[in-house]
Amino acid sequence: MLNPMSVMVLFAGEHRRLVLWVPVLLALGALAYFQWPCEPGGGVGCVLPAGVAALGLGVSLYWPHTLVARLGGGGVTALVVGFAAAWLATHTQPAMPELPRRAVEVQGVVRDVAYYPAPAGQGEPVRHVTLVDAVMQDFVDDGMRPLRRSLDIRLAVQDSTPLAPGDALRVRAMVRPPPFPALPGGRDRQFEAWFAGQAGSGYALESVQVEPGLQHPQSGLWLAVDRLRVLVDARIRHVLPGASGSVVATLLDGRASAVPQNIRAEFAASGLAHLLAVAGLHLGLVMGAAMLACRLVLAAWQYAALRWPCKAISAVVAWVVGGGYVLLTGAHLPAERSWMMSSIVVLGLVVGRRAVSMRGLALAATLMLLLAPQVVLDVAFQMSMAAVMALVAGYEVLHPILLRSLSGLRGAGHACARHGAMLVLTSLLAGTATLPVVMAHFGVVQPFFVLANLLAVPLMGVWIMPLGLLALLAMPFYADAPFLHMMNAGVCGVLWLAHKVAGWPGASIAVPAMPGWGLGCVLLGLCWLCLWRGNWRWWGACAVLCGTLTPWLAPQPDILVSPDAQLVGVRDRTAVLVMGHARDVRAITAAWAQALALPVVAFSTAAAQEVENPDGSLICGEEGAEGSCVLLRRGHEVVVRIHDPSDGRASLPQSLCAQADLVLSVAPLRVSCLNVPVRLDRFTAWHAGAQAVFLGSGVRVVTDRQERGERLWVLKPGGHGMPTLPLAQAE
């Protein structure tokens, strides 16, 4: 049993690793803000953290030689700084605007043009434009200020109007705000849109009209980069128009939107989904190829080889090339994190210090959390940090063992064995560390990820990415076609590998949704396992294991209700029985299937029928109530009304409600079943969002509003935002 003194001794022995916990505490502080039940004011969000941080720093400086004071003061300071950084990052974002619920003329400036697969998976890709400085041209919003957020508009299929970043256009479109989560605790697209600067999305009702004379709000570097990305994408699509060409475009300009859904599914099932997300792997391959090429050129020049620091020069050149690649691929957060990490590596090479270390990762994570604290909830940030942390810590422990085991080999055999063993170790460490994160966010486990990466990653490193760099260099001279075709041959090999591995039995195993506290347990346990060096680090493995098992330990909802109350899902042992109709039925049912790890099955209530299983029974058409069902489960009776032509004006039969513990209706209940303890209807969903019903010792209802609270990024009931009213006329 450890006593406080022995704990202090353990901390003292790890004193050089204590600084590595600064980004972890920053992340916990930011997470505390994002999980706050209501929006804190300026006093709690900024003034109080500033005072606590000053007190913590004062304690650390007043007793600099006392470990308890340094740990307590420094830890509290990091926590409140993370909380305050999240509060500031949230409150510096513009408010969500109120978007019209009808067709409207939208005028704006194109910031980006992207291609997406056809909705049904057939036909030509569909263009999407991102508009900034958008203005609604209707009688309500006449004279409004331009939106401070962007709009994503899907153009009409037959629209072939040439567009480029900087063009001003006018289009008649239907727009809507970001959707509410499909279930409590589900993916929060409103949170993502809030920090991405998005107001919503929509689709064009007719062809766009280019409006000359307006200027793009961006200028200089960013406008040039946007236009360059569009030109590169158009050139790749011209040379390689097929599905493999969309993967090539993803690798060279970061536009993964055009990759067909079936290819995405195969990459996910084979454990190769990370190849479609430009991040550390791609940046490392690009910078490695650039550094190798520059080193070879300098080594071939006798004057430079004898007099210049070729290694440092090559590292700086690779860093510049990597920065250009990050800009060309859209400067996404994972790529930015990787480039920050590479900056520290390059600095270490230049000054002769250790290039790859846990301190470099901690510094990169600290910068990211201070500049954009919302990344603490981002799957890409969690996966990249977990993978790199596991790689650095794993190689610290296993690399000496690997070298000793291969010491008996010599020559080419030693080089091949060492390279193969390191490749297996890298895939195993990174894949195992990110496996619980993939389970939490995507609801799948890929058992064959190591085998697939053993073949795909070397092909990416020695063939695909070097040829991609050559193609980009040759593109201004229109000499890129040979390199693109050779690169495409390698991509086709990866596609074939993903297809074959995805077709194996058990290649993708669905798992239920992991609760948030389970993912937090996994990540904290992984930090404990990787950041310490003593034997007590292995306690973290227990936390990781416990968190990984939570999807099967947490209770699953028996009934799910969509945000608009038009869809109801009843969980069965083998499927989710979905009743009703909704506009977003495909997205909602996909989220339900992933959360419950069960297929969705459409269930019709038009005719009288009964479904029995060991958990209970579902009876429809009873008591002459057409379009209504009764669920009997665990001693509870639930009445579900799916179809009501009277919109709630016709009451349900009193005999149907007599023994009910809960009544659920897609229409307003009004005076129906007034004696039932729990009543849920369309008005309830309008106020509270999606709902999950748990039938156990009692009836427990969890709503989306309870899960997310009253926060700035949570839209008002009905999806309403801040009105975009014009300024009052001056008198």
Q: Nearest 10 degrees: CA dihedral of 512, 518, 519, 524? A: -160
Highest average pLDDT, of 321-330, 357-366, 503-512, 553-562, comes from 553-562
- CB atoms under 10 Å from CB of 395, counted, come to 16
- Strand (E) or helix (H) holding 632: strand 628-633
Quick check: 214 pLDDT over 60?
A: no
- Helix/strand/coil for 633: strand
> For 4-30, how does the pLDDT look when each residue is reduced to its tens digit (9 = 90+)?
666 666 666 677 788 899 999 999 999
Quick check: 175 pLDDT over 90?
A: yes
Tally of domains within the chain = 4
Query: Strand 576-580 to strand 600-602: parallel, antiparallel, or no bridges (unpaired)?
Result: parallel
Say yes or no: 191 and 292 in one domain.
no
Structural domain includes residue 552: no
- Helix/strand/coil for 202: strand
* Dist. CA 228–CA 222, nearest whole Å: 10
* Dist. CA 667–CA 647, nearest whole Å: 5
Residue 200 zone, left/alpha/beta (φ > 0; ψ -120 to 50; rest)? left
Say yes or no: 324 and 458 in one domain.
yes
Facing residues of 573 across strands?
none
Those residues whose C-beta lies under 8 Å from the C-beta of residue 695, and which sit 6 or more positions away, are: 558, 559, 633, 634, 636, 638
Say yes or no: 622 and 656 in one domain.
yes
Say yes or no: 252 and 383 in one domain.
yes
* Dist. CA 511–CA 556, nearest whole Å: 12
**pLDDT for residue 729:** 58
Say yes or no: 87 and 49 in one domain.
yes
Domain that residue 455 falls in: 247-510
* Dist. CA 718–CA 688, nearest whole Å: 10
Say yes or no: 39 and 159 in one domain.
no
Say yes or no: 386 and 270 in one domain.
yes
Dihedral sign for Cα 611, 616, 621, 624, please. positive
Structural domain includes residue 652: yes
Structural domain includes residue 115: yes
Say yes or no: 56 and 116 in one domain.
no
Structural domain includes residue 172: yes
Structural domain includes residue 230: no
Those residues whose C-beta lies under 8 Å from the C-beta of residue 105, and which sit 6 or more positions away, are: 136, 137, 138, 170, 171, 172
- Which pLDDT band holds residue 184 (cuts at 50, 70, 90)? very high
Say yes or no: 208 and 273 in one domain.
no
- Alpha carbon separation from 278 to 85, 195, 285, 427 (Å, rounded): 27, 20, 11, 17
Q: Hunting for tokens 């270390």 — which residue is that?
A: 357
Say yes or no: 83 and 123 in one domain.
no
Q: Residue 199 is part of a domain; what is its CATH number?
A: 2.40.50
Quick check: 218 pLDDT over 70?
A: no
* Dist. CA 619–CA 617, nearest whole Å: 6
**In contact, 112 and 230? CB cutoff 8 Å:** yes
Structural domain includes residue 699: no
- Residue range 35-44: average pLDDT? 90
Say yes or no: 213 and 120 in one domain.
yes
* Dist. CA 513–CA 571, nearest whole Å: 14
Structural domain includes residue 566: yes
Q: Hunting for tokens 């083998």 — which residue is that?
A: 574
First to last CA, the chain: 78
Structural domain includes residue 545: no
User: What pTM, to 2 d.p., does this model score?
Assistant: 0.90
Say yes or no: 206 and 268 in one domain.
no
